[in-house]
Amino acid sequence: MIVAHTWRRVSMPSEKSRLTISSNIWACFMKLEGVAYISSLRNSPDDRHNLLIFAPDPASPIKKIYLGEDYLGVIKTSFRPPESCRQGQPDFWWRMVSLESSTTVVRDTNSLKVRRIVSDDKAAADNNGSASILWAAPPPRIPRLIQLEKSHPSARMATFVCNDPGVIAYWVHFNLRITSIHAHTSEEDLAMFKSRPASIEHRGLWQYFPLHSGEKITEIWVRGSQWLRVALIFKTSHDRVVVFGQHETIKPKTRLFLMDRPYQEKPSRIFFEESNSGVRAIANETPRPRVSPEYTVDLPQPTRNLVKSTAPVPWYYWTACLRGIKEIVPSQRCKSGWRKVIFGLLLRYYDGRRACLGQVRLDSLMTTLEVGGHPSFWLETCEDNARFPFVMDVGLSSGGPCNLHPYSEVEIRTDDSVDWWFSYHHSRVYPREDKS
């Protein structure tokens, strides 16, 4: 049995009535702000309820009802998994009503429209805490819910698609903790940068991971359990490992576990909490990975550690080998109280590969610098009044004297590798010889 909730005017009490999915279900719609909402549902037709939305099929029992809704009410109902909406639709969410052992639902209305529909089977409604979750795309079954840290149950779960053939990179945005995850399909798609509030964007940090041709994500790990230290770790089919999160030394008590093995033969949808507090939970459609307790992942390690006294803020770490590099594209942003500074480099190679150092935002790219055929390029670095380091400029030759102090230049050889440490507004770069 299911329960449907309909909204009434403020002066009118809420009404609840029961429907059975063993009979036909008829609907009445109303328009509000140009959108058609379900006003009421009945098991028998009348002058208002004249649209048949469900006819039972004894050979195909219903286990779930999918409700498409926005902030005003229910817009769609589906008694089969709807066609997947890969990246979801803004301000439109799906709720799953599970009918494990019941054929009755309860609808709650307010004389204007249906507010919600719930199962009268409490065990089904509470299954995995999914009854109260709004999903950006309708999962065909209840995903595995994984808590990255202790928190209240998630209210909304956004989604990104992993291992879709069109994905060329992955983005993760931080504001102390992870706030969003994106699968990137085109260098021209900059919508994600415009969708974030300015207050979050000013303090936020982006990590960008371009994929090689044919490369797929094979494993996703979780490191840490405290909000500032939680990181996601992607391992790829090219045996590359990237850490989305601040750099940490793995200690004996550090939580490190294999969370997911995304599908390789088809795309996987991965859900993550969408809230002002950030991502504290993730849900996966794939089966739980089964590995031995000794199974682990080797994380990338810098050859030179950051000087700890430089800044008491979370520091992140990227590394890249420059052999075969064709061009670099600096990415810049305005540092508060200072001029625009460089906070990352997009690297492009002769064989078509891409990589990045530091933070890279495609809406903040500068002029491309051709470095192929040159033995090295130079980074001009400085420190602000708090002695936090940052990169001022990049060029093919030494920049000469500068009136900013302390000021220095770093020569980066194009046959070396680079360690690039970065935080929200700061960078420190260490070249290293890499003969591997």
Average pLDDT over residues 10-33: 79
- Same domain, yes or no: 240 and 151: yes
**What pTM, to 2 d.p., does this model score?**
0.86
- Same domain, yes or no: 266 and 334: no
Instruction: Indicate the number of domains in the chain.
Output: 3
- 113 falls within a domain: yes
How many angstroms separate the CA atoms of 50 and 404, rounded?
A: 76
Beta strand 2-7 with 104-109 is parallel
Sheet holding 231-236, edge to edge: 241-244, 231-236, 217-223, 256-260
Q: Is the pLDDT of residue 235 over 80?
A: yes
pLDDT in tens, 341-373: 899 999 999 999 999 999 999 989 999 999 999
Average pLDDT over residues 113-135: 68
- Same domain, yes or no: 152 and 276: yes
- 365 falls within a domain: yes
Number of Cβ within a 10 Å radius of residue 58: 6
Confidence of residue 311 (pLDDT cuts 50, 70, 90): low
- 290 falls within a domain: no
Greatest CA separation for the chain: 85
Backbone angles phi, psi at 130, to 5 degrees: -80, -15
pLDDT for the residue 86: 43
- 118 class by beta-carbon count within 10 Å (0-12 exposed, 13-18 middle, 19+ buried): buried
- In this structure, is the dihedral angle defined by the CA atoms of residues 53, 59, 62 and 67, taken in order, positive or negative? negative
Average pLDDT over residues 305-316: 71
Q: Which of 43-52, 190-199, 267-276, 416-425 has the lowest mean pLDDT?
A: 190-199
pLDDT for the residue 16: 74
pLDDT in tens, 374-395: 999 999 988 877 778 889 899 9
Q: Please tell me what DSSP assigns to residue 82.
A: P
pLDDT in tens, 156-175: 999 999 999 999 999 999 98
- 55 falls within a domain: yes
DSSP states along 166-192: T--EEEEEEESEEEEEEEE--TT--HH
How many angstroms separate the CA atoms of 65 and 182, rounded?
A: 28
pLDDT for the residue 286: 94
How many angstroms separate the CA atoms of 67 and 94, rounded?
A: 5
pLDDT for the residue 201: 60
Q: Is the pLDDT of residue 10 over 50?
A: no
- 306 falls within a domain: no
How many angstroms separate the CA atoms of 123 and 398, rounded?
A: 69
How many angstroms separate the CA atoms of 147 and 264, rounded?
A: 24
Residue at which a domain ends, from 128, 153, 168: 128
Q: Is the pLDDT of residue 123 over 60?
A: no
Q: Which of 1-10, 21-30, 53-62, 406-415 has the lowest mean pLDDT?
A: 1-10
CA distances from 189 to 84, 137, 358 (A): 21, 20, 20
pLDDT in tens, 283-298: 999 999 999 989 999 9
**Is residue 232 within 8 Å of residue 221, measured between CB atoms?**
yes
- Same domain, yes or no: 103 and 154: no
Q: Is the pLDDT of residue 1 over 60?
A: no
- Same domain, yes or no: 340 and 396: yes
DSSP states along 288-348: PP---TT---PPP--SS---GGG-SS--EEEEEE-TTEEEEEEEEEEPTTS-EEEEEEEEE
Residue of higher predicted confidence among 295 and 120: 295
- Same domain, yes or no: 96 and 211: no
- Same domain, yes or no: 324 and 422: yes
pLDDT for the residue 241: 97
- 289 falls within a domain: no
Structure tokens at 300: 């990338």
CATH number at residue 348: 2.100.10
- Same domain, yes or no: 112 and 152: no
pLDDT in tens, 83-118: 755 445 678 999 888 886 666 777 666 667 777 777
How many angstroms separate the CA atoms of 362 and 208, rounded?
A: 10
pLDDT for the residue 8: 44
**Is residue 261 within 8 Å of residue 289, measured between CB atoms?**
yes
pLDDT for the residue 199: 56
Average pLDDT over residues 74-87: 75
- 297 falls within a domain: no
- Same domain, yes or no: 13 and 102: yes
**Is residue 173 within 8 Å of residue 196, measured between CB atoms?**
yes
CATH number at residue 188: 2.100.10.30
Confidence of residue 25 (pLDDT cuts 50, 70, 90): very high
**Is residue 234 within 8 Å of residue 242, measured between CB atoms?**
yes
Interacting residues of 315 by C-beta distance below 8 A, sequence separation 6+? 246, 247, 306, 421, 422, 423
Interacting residues of 253 by C-beta distance below 8 A, sequence separation 6+? none
- Same domain, yes or no: 378 and 337: yes
Domain enclosing residue 51, as ranges:
2-128
- 122 falls within a domain: yes
- Same domain, yes or no: 21 and 102: yes
Confidence of residue 230 (pLDDT cuts 50, 70, 90): very high
Residue at which a domain ends, from 103, 128, 153: 128
How many angstroms separate the CA atoms of 145 and 412, rounded?
A: 44
CA 22, 44, 36 angle in degrees (round to 5)? 100
Q: Which of 135-144, 167-176, 181-190, 364-373 has the lowest mean pLDDT?
A: 181-190
Q: Please tell me what DSSP assigns to residue 224.
A: -
E strand or H helix that includes residue 407: strand 407-413
How many angstroms separate the CA atoms of 5 and 8, rounded?
A: 10
Confidence of residue 178 (pLDDT cuts 50, 70, 90): very high
Confidence of residue 406 (pLDDT cuts 50, 70, 90): low
- Same domain, yes or no: 278 and 387: no
Name the average pLDDT for the chain: 84
